[in-house]
Structure 1
Amino acid sequence: MSSEEQLGESNFLKNQGTKIDIKSLEVVKSHSEKELDLGAEFLAKNSEHADYTPAEARKVLFKIDLMLMPIMTVATTLAAADKIVISNAALYGMETDCKLVGQQYSWIASIFYFGYLGMEAPANYLIQRYPVAKCLGISFIIWSSILMCIGAANNFATLAALRFLLGMGETFLFPALTVITSMFYRKKEQPFRTAIWFSGFSSLITGSLSYGIGTSNSSVASWRLLFITFGAITFGISWIMLILIPDSPMKCRFFSTREKYIAIDRTKENRTGTKNKVFKKDQAIEALLSPTTWCMAIFVFSINIANGGLVSFAAQIVSGLGYSEHRTVLMGLPTGVFMTFSSWLIALPCLVVPGKFRTVITAIVTLCPLICCVLMMKLTDKISRLLAYYFFYFYWGPYVSMCSLSMANTSGHTKKTVVNAINFISYCVANIVAPQFFLSSQSPEYPTGYDAILSFLAVSIVTILIYGLLCILENKKRNKKYGIVDSSYKMELDILDLTDIQKAEVFRYTW
């Protein structure tokens, strides 16, 4: 190693407190690509940039936010709009024009998630094996094209087939953005950033456009225009995503080599790795055998019973309170505000107290939709029920929070992929099952639907607290065996693509 490289490492030790030495490069040379984390490998090979200042790190974080947050938020907003627009389309005559009877609308809502479920494993594999942003952009181009085609449907079979394909195309969204967030942000930064791009702004856009289209004088049916318009907008945004969203910090075309180094190095404390393209069987087995994996899976399933019911039947629930078609569309606008506020209500305290109490705060916030579920069943006054309906959407914050927590607590790229896949399988199954609790014969009260949501919300609160308890107990066990983890960084350990169990000496769970 040259004298300049040694000086760079010395400055890094002084300014950043990171334990990095010549052993790092030896580890790179002595291990195959299968064993290395690509982010840590980049750090080891570019250690001459290790003497960066805190001001440079803040500047890089600002550039990351500017590059990722707007386009990721737009992407999730457009994807979520699809789920809401199906409800507005039903309000505008889709059921009549397509001759839907009985529970066929419920199946149209559910079948989307059959496609989502069927594509979940292949999507997660492709995201690990190939550039994540390219997978995301291409999938958006495909599903936005399918969304426009729904505007031409004339019967149940066509609607069902297109909704199934739509679900397959949209499968890439949440796993891809979750992986990107874990690559670019530190653990304490992830909750708030996830809350931003996972915001519920879709209702504002969907409601406004739906109202405008519904009141227009067009020869094309309003519900058909809804799908064509949303599909066309998403198709255009898809190409922007391909340009703006980087596949990883190492591949970010907007960064210099030094900025890439800083972007990777500032997240080293996560100890969750950046990228590894090889699927590792041992990590997959570890994920499947972990009790926290299944605890999280049960939570995701339980909380999304509320999502599947409210999203698919939002317009029917509000119109059932006595509002007209166009007024119903407008009354749905505030739901996104409540969804977003609930996410930020959990995420903001995590900036102040990183690493602790997130599960407790999440459980407390989940009590709000549980109480509102009871109020929706018991209240008779229209205004009171509408307010309860709005606060019902506080279920979204806990879901966003725990998805972020799951990734923060998982190290090893294959293990992340498997845990991610299990979470979204749970998400799909819940959204398949939920609409079936909303029986057409019980419209607009839907007592069976509310009973199901109430029961599963209670289960979700219990699983949140159990998950937190498991993390606390495991941290205490590791502290007793290895001692309290300090801020030092063992590059020779973290350069390998290891799981949170394999590097128990330096990894502690957020709870």
Structure 2
Amino acid sequence: MVTLDRKTSGGSYPDLEKTDIKHQELYEGSVREDAEDPIEAKKVIRKIDIRLLPLLVFLYTLTFLDRVNIGNARLWGMEDDLGMTGYHYNIVVMVFYIPYVLLEIPSNMIINRIKPRYWISGLTMGWGLSVTFAGFSTSFGGLLTARIFIGIFEAGMFPGCLFLISSWYRRHEVLTRMALFMVSNDIAGSVSGLLGAGLGSMDGIKGYSGWSWIFFVEGGVTCAAAILAFFCVLPFPEESKFLSLDEKEWLLRRLKADDYRNKEREKITLKGVFRALADWRIICTGVMYLAVCVTAYSITIFQPTILSGFGWDSLKSNLLTAPVRIVSGIVSVAMAFWSDKVKRRGIFCLSGYTISIMGSLIVMLHPNNNVRYMGLYFAAIGIYIVQPLCIAWGSNQVVGYTKRGTLTAFAISSGQIGGIISALVFPKQDGPRYYPGISTCIAFAFVGIIAGSCMWGFGAYENRMRDAGKREHLRNLPPENLEGKGEKHPDFRYTV
């Protein structure tokens, strides 16, 4: 049994790379349960969880809050104060995503080369200041400029955090952690409505409108959080210092045995990125996440507007966004835990898209406003089940820092295109039913089902081929070449 105590193992760990372990025992890429001390393993993983996740959850809560607070600001006179008409609001929402899409892959190339705490804290300070200055806007152009800078600085946060999380855990531990991280969206969605109601009521204080106070306060909190991030964000596992030497060596060996990653963390290069982008699994993950984000951003940014179309006032519309996000967050984490436990992704992914489609149809077609509000719950629950799942599923299917870093950045870049789409298909004149916008959400959910079915079908087929010995010829390769095969290794199993 592998333990964390050198004394009990004769001064060194058993060499897992040289142990005669049949590929059936490594089914789906996991280390055998009896190959490690479960009590010691839980202690180390718990230590990592405590040091890594709470801070990242907090930071991404602020990221999402600062991104979507414009939906709440809209209800407190922002458009009238800045002379915004027609599609101006939609343009302000959309322009954020342009630098966001373009800069995510370069950002993961940078975080791979420098200490994550430097990069993440710098990004946090940058967008915090941009949000704060947005409150001083006196024209449509000023707000537009602030939103561009928010997009520039926020671009690296989401993919960088997911890249960092995926580096610390085995393949069937990572979804639960990603879901806990992404529950930040639901926390932000819940808090955004409450803050929008509270801060907006400061309208007139010191001569500033309520929408300005939303930006001032939320941006100021983010700047303070940047200082905390500088001191507390963890590095990659190979550079960690909070683990003992024994724990660190055990962790790295465990991660390598799980997915055949190289012992040393490779640098992400432009050539490696282009090679990774030719992998259909990475493209498929991007399509799934694009399908998620069309609905997710529509719910987040336009939910207050949709609710106000029910005939409810601004305060009620803001407050009633919170319960939807709370419920969807709880269900998302529960489904992620279940998915990790049973080591399955496909059935959860396709079910989430289907539930979201049902909810969207209710919102669009049902005559009763209370029932339509219930439909928002189903639309949100379904899509937020899929959001962390499709990123984790894609990460489960590839090996190595370059592919995982490229996958998280490319998928999230694709998702932000969904944000651009959602910004364009919900003009105010389409209310209160918003047939074009909601129909677009439904169409993309069907695209997600198709992409998920392809990922599921290919993984199941390839696993059957490997179980039948159809990939055993690869074992004839020299050991150094076989080790570098990654997901093509005959012992590797896809997650389905």
Normalised by the length of structure 2, the TM-score is 0.87
Q: 1:493 to 1:235 in 2, by over 3 A?
A: farther
Q: 1:359 to 1:8 in 2, by over 3 A?
A: same
Report the number of matched residues.
466
Is the CA contact (8 Å cut-off) linking 2:332 and 2:385 kept in structure 1?
Answer: yes
* From 166, 170, 174, the counterpart of 1:186: 170
Does the residue aligned with 1:105 lie in a helix, a strand or coil?
helix
Amino acid aligned to 2:45? L
Q: 1:268 to 1:400 in 2, by over 3 A?
A: same
Q: Within the alignment, does 1:410 sit opposite 2:395 as a pair?
A: no
Does the residue aligned with 1:186 lie in a helix, a strand or coil?
coil
Q: 1:453 to 1:275 in 2, by over 3 A?
A: farther
- Alpha-carbon deviations, 1:87-116, whole Å to 9, x = none? 000011111111111011011111100120
Q: Which residue of 2 aligns with 1:213?
A: 199
Is the CA contact (8 Å cut-off) linking 1:97 and 1:154 kept in structure 2?
Answer: yes
- Alpha-carbon deviations, 1:440-463, whole Å to 9, x = none? 321232111011111111111121
Does the residue aligned with 1:12 lie in a helix, a strand or coil?
coil
Structure-2 separation of matches of 1:228 and 1:272: 47
460-469 or 272-281, which deviates more: 272-281
Structure-1 separation of matches of 2:493 and 2:119: 31
Q: 1:456 to 1:9 in 2, by over 3 A?
A: farther
Normalised by the length of structure 1, the TM-score is 0.85
Q: 1:325 to 1:495 in 2, by over 3 A?
A: farther
Map 1:242-261 to 2 at 5 A. Answer: 242-261=230-249
- Alpha-carbon deviations, 1:65-85, whole Å to 9, x = none? 111121111112111112331
Q: Which residue of 1 aligns with 2:190?
A: 204
Structure-1 separation of matches of 2:455 and 2:370: 37
Q: Within the alignment, does 1:473 sit opposite 2:461 as a pair?
A: yes
Q: Within the alignment, does 1:510 sit opposite 2:495 as a pair?
A: yes
62-71 or 337-346, which deviates more: 337-346
Q: Which residue of 2 aligns with 1:48?
A: none
Q: Which residue of 2 aligns with 1:382?
A: 369
Q: Which residue of 1 aligns with 2:213?
A: 225
Q: Within the alignment, does 1:139 sit opposite 2:123 as a pair?
A: yes
Task: Give the CA deviation at 1:275.
Answer: 6.0
Amino acid aligned to 1:210? G
Task: Give the CA deviation at 1:344.
Answer: 2.1
Q: Within the alignment, does 1:324 sit opposite 2:322 as a pair?
A: no
Q: Which residue of 2 aligns with 1:12?
A: 13
Is the CA contact (8 Å cut-off) linking 2:289 and 2:411 kept in structure 1?
Answer: yes
Task: Give the CA deviation at 1:253.
Answer: 3.3
Map 1:208-357 to 2 at 5 A. Answer: 208-216=194-202, 218-219=205-206, 220-271=208-259, 273=261, 276-280=265-269, 283-354=272-343, 356=344
Q: 1:78 to 1:447 in 2, by over 3 A?
A: same
Structure-2 separation of matches of 1:148 and 1:222: 13
Q: 1:212 to 1:6 in 2, by over 3 A?
A: closer
Is the CA contact (8 Å cut-off) linking 1:283 and 1:412 kept in structure 2?
Answer: no
- Alpha-carbon deviations, 1:293-326, whole Å to 9, x = none? 2222221122211123222212111111111111
Structure-2 separation of matches of 1:275 and 1:313: 45
CA RMSD of aligned residues (A): 2.7
Does the residue aligned with 1:313 lie in a helix, a strand or coil?
helix
Q: 1:207 to 1:5 in 2, by over 3 A?
A: closer
Structure-1 separation of matches of 2:490 and 2:189: 45
Q: 1:6 to 1:377 in 2, by over 3 A?
A: closer
Does the residue aligned with 1:255 lie in a helix, a strand or coil?
coil
Amino acid aligned to 1:208? L
Q: Which residue of 1 aligns with 2:346?
A: 359
Is the CA contact (8 Å cut-off) linking 1:83 and 1:311 kept in structure 2?
Answer: no
Q: 1:495 to 1:256 in 2, by over 3 A?
A: farther
Task: Give the CA deviation at 1:419.
Answer: 2.1
Q: Which residue of 1 aligns with 2:408?
A: 420
Structure-1 separation of matches of 2:140 and 2:485: 46
Structure-2 separation of matches of 1:337 and 1:93: 27
Map 1:416-495 to 2 at 5 A. Answer: 416-479=404-467, 480-482=469-471
Structure-2 separation of matches of 1:134 and 1:509: 35
Task: Give the CA deviation at 1:493.
Answer: 5.3
Q: 1:437 to 1:172 in 2, by over 3 A?
A: same
Amino acid aligned to 1:89? A
Amino acid aligned to 2:349? T
Q: Within the alignment, does 1:155 sit opposite 2:139 as a pair?
A: yes
Amino acid aligned to 1:449? G
Is the CA contact (8 Å cut-off) linking 2:64 and 2:188 kept in structure 1?
Answer: yes
Task: Give the CA deviation at 1:242.
Answer: 2.0
Task: Give the CA deviation at 1:499.
Answer: 5.7
Q: 1:415 to 1:499 in 2, by over 3 A?
A: farther
Q: 1:495 to 1:236 in 2, by over 3 A?
A: farther
279-288 or 318-327, which deviates more: 279-288
Is the CA contact (8 Å cut-off) linking 1:147 and 1:227 kept in structure 2?
Answer: yes
Amino acid aligned to 2:137? A
Q: 1:280 to 1:139 in 2, by over 3 A?
A: closer
Is the CA contact (8 Å cut-off) linking 1:98 and 1:155 kept in structure 2?
Answer: yes
Task: Give the CA deviation at 1:251.
Answer: 2.5
Q: Which residue of 2 aligns with 1:372?
A: 359
Q: 1:294 to 1:157 in 2, by over 3 A?
A: same
Q: Which residue of 1 aligns with 2:25?
A: none
Structure-1 separation of matches of 2:112 and 2:39: 33
Is the CA contact (8 Å cut-off) linking 1:60 and 1:262 kept in structure 2?
Answer: no
Q: 1:90 to 1:137 in 2, by over 3 A?
A: same
Structure-1 separation of matches of 2:6 and 2:173: 31
Q: Within the alignment, does 1:64 sit opposite 2:48 as a pair?
A: yes
Q: Which residue of 2 aligns with 1:105?
A: 89
Give structure 1 stretches of 5+ with no counterpart.
Answer: 22-50, 486-491
Q: 1:493 to 1:281 in 2, by over 3 A?
A: farther
Task: Give the CA deviation at 1:387.
Answer: 1.1
Amino acid aligned to 2:302? F
